[in-house]
Amino acid sequence: MSLTADHLFDVRGLVTIVTGAASGLGLAIAEAMAANGAVVVLADRNETELKRVSRDVLPAAEIAAVDVADPDAIRRLTDDVVVRKGKLDVVFANAGISAGPGIVSPKGAIENIDLAAWNEVLATNQTGVFTTMQAAARHMKAQRSGRIVVTASVGGLRGAWATGYSYAASKAAVVNLVRQAALELAPFGIQVNAIAPGFFRTALGGGRLLDEAGTKPLEAMVPMKRIAMPREIAGVSLLLASPAASYITGSVFTVDGGITAA
């Protein structure tokens, strides 16, 4: 095995689905994979944004308007990709939503949590990740290879004032989903890992991470004293899709500027 970077991080030709790919971290992951030669399918429930990305950012990528909260839709997507491409190498289960303020706000206090909003977040962030993994695993088991990479969060690894209950609970759940799936799927040559981002400049959370003034209190929580840019998720994403990660499964990679070390 060559130890050159060109070989270790070679993702050329890998058929890859990225959910939540119309913006934020999903788009950054998709851009990184496409820039390095992967065959990328962008999936998102926001069809308008998908079309814009296809037109302006990643014209070579395919798009699919899919809500991961609909298990039939994500199953149809994986089936269609395998029929047309002949395989499914990598799935980034990245789609996620946030609802409501963190527990630092009175509106985020436990007695004020709306159950409908709670269920909406879990339907996408927890059940949607599970059904995405499930749909991918069916095909990857048959071909006895594949990579599944889940976007978790540091909010699922520790308590945090800036995080709401439903988001924290859903992200904690997917961390153990990853570990559970890694155990079952390892004998089939399938590796399952998670990336746990900290604070990134994305629209998640109502856009507060895009507002310079609004991020000042958050920056104070980060040892590196800044909010990350979406492109800073690219390196670990490429790693987990590439030959360099050949012996990594069931792991959680924090990309958080040191939050979980504090």
Catalytic residues: 167
Question: Quick check: helix, strand or coil at residue 101?
Answer: coil
Mention every residue, 6+ apart, whose C-beta is less than 8 A from residue 79: 135, 139
CA angle 213, 169, 152 (to 5 degrees): 70
Mention every residue, 6+ apart, whose C-beta is less than 8 A from residue 202: 23, 24, 25, 209, 210, 230
CB atoms within 10 A of CB 106: 9
Among the listed residues 31, 11, 13, the one whose alpha carbon sits nearest the alpha carbon of residue 22: 31
**Residue 16: in which H helix or E strand, if any?**
strand 15-19
Among the listed residues 33, 21, 5, the one whose alpha carbon sits nearest the alpha carbon of residue 90: 33
User: In degrees to the nearest 10, what's the CA dihedral of 53, 154, 192, 29?
Assistant: 20
